[in-house]
Structure 1
């Protein structure tokens, strides 16, 4: 029995693009909700398939999407829906994830713009095929506990010139200096651990990227982040890679957080974003 082909979107609709792939299971797409109520389907171009969904024209302008993504609840819904589609597509073969809210004003414009980038998409698919992305984060270890006086008093940057300080004052300054030294040693050790970790994991990866460090206030971790790395690893090297991360944590004494495996977002080479395309 021939499976019915999803109907093309109405003329007055924008086209949202989730991912680019070479092969896709239409049956898998039909079970995905996506961003809107329209069916998730494919748009063929240049021996490739774009996984797309129609968005009503009235909801597709920059202002509408800025407002939508400014709402935390709606942002979370869109991120989850986008990732769900990308993950489902990548489970059946290499996929190039597109940025959240990649929109074209119509289907024909999407086909033309994506077709112009076909060579880059083919190269990206070759690069990520049979590979996954792992995230590795390294955090600064806590310095030795300071005394209550040290925690509540601002330490001078240097010993002021003047008469010699008393024994009690000298002891206080030594405690302050000791606290500063401990913190500086902890910071240097963490930076060294970050460099050692990154260097070792690059040797086990096909490609690697150092991403922007995350603000501690945006995560549950109260410690400062000194490495936020993404590593593209052959699937058959997964065990070796994860074991290396565990060994590095034990050897350096650093707090190392491993996440993944992920669809290779960081290595897809797609920097697109919403626009009037």
Structure 2
């Protein structure tokens, strides 16, 4: 990722990484961010936005859409953004902003953030002393395939008397078995989600994803985010380990993270 060059503030747009109550400018200015301008704080309504100048000419939607459509650039920007947010969160609760949150000027950023100050205070109160854990549950596509799937050859229906009907019955049985297996996996995911929600302050169901590993496609049946008190971390992770031993599915645990999923609305903000 080629850093966006520094420009005079008068001709710069403002990129916002996060909002917090306390931040150390001496620490922030040593972090690279996404341009060569220093990362700094922008005070408003007893809060601080952690920001960086970027060239105004490069702060439009099309410019960022092109950059973020490249997988390598996307990964680098995500890492740079996350590095700043994580540094901010070490000093206290932080409300991460979406990737590519841009305003046309510092004054425009201050106005927009000030208008949303009450929500930021609410978010910071909600996430104080808490972390986010991610739990994903997968079943292999192979686990929903019965032995009939592997042995029935649908290319040619048998011609012996009664064989056609028997073949169709086997196909229907295969379909029922597959549906029953998927229903069982979904039910297990619901039960796991309910168990983890009982240990969390808040929880969110995120969009399901798919994963292709060699010739095995993993089907995701749960993609959950859980806001957990830091004091309950051991209890939460132990519960996941127990559920993993009981479940007939792959359970992935990730975290602890800065509570991105509980910072507010989804999607990019700003007026770029």
| 1:253 counterpart residue number | 248
When residues 221 and 173 of structure 1 are mapped into structure 2, their CA distance, relative to the original with a 3 A threshold, is closer
Secondary structure at 2:123 match in 1: helix
Q: Tell me, yes or no, if structure 1 residue 70 matches structure 2 residue 69.
A: yes
When residues 57 and 147 of structure 1 are mapped into structure 2, their CA distance, relative to the original with a 3 A threshold, is closer
| 1:131 counterpart residue number | 130
TM-score (structure 2 length as normaliser): 0.87
| 2:179 counterpart residue number | 184
> 8 Å contact 1:96–1:270 — kept in the other structure?
no
Q: Tell me, yes or no, if structure 1 residue 223 matches structure 2 residue 224.
A: no
Query: Partners in 2 of 1:100 and 1:220 — Cα distance?
Result: 33
Query: Partners in 2 of 1:133 and 1:166 — Cα distance?
Result: 62
- Which of the pair is proportionally richer in strand? 2
Query: Partners in 2 of 1:252 and 1:63 — Cα distance?
Result: 45
Q: Please list every run of 5 or more consecutive structure 2 residues that lacks an aligned counterpart in the other structure.
A: 1-6
| 1:3 counterpart residue number | none
| 1:153 counterpart residue number | 154
Secondary structure at 1:249 match in 2: helix
Q: Deviations over 1:2-30 (max 9, x none)?
A: xxxxxx95211000000000111222212
When residues 219 and 256 of structure 1 are mapped into structure 2, their CA distance, relative to the original with a 3 A threshold, is farther
| 1:122 counterpart residue number | 121
Ranges of 4+ aligned residues in structure 1 off by more than 6 Å: 218-221
Higher mean C-alpha deviation, range 85-94 or range 138-147 = 138-147
RMSD between superposed Cα atoms in Å: 2.7
> 8 Å contact 1:38–1:53 — kept in the other structure?
yes
Q: Please list every run of 5 or more consecutive structure 1 residues that lacks an aligned counterpart in the other structure.
A: 1-7, 157-163
> 8 Å contact 2:139–2:219 — kept in the other structure?
yes
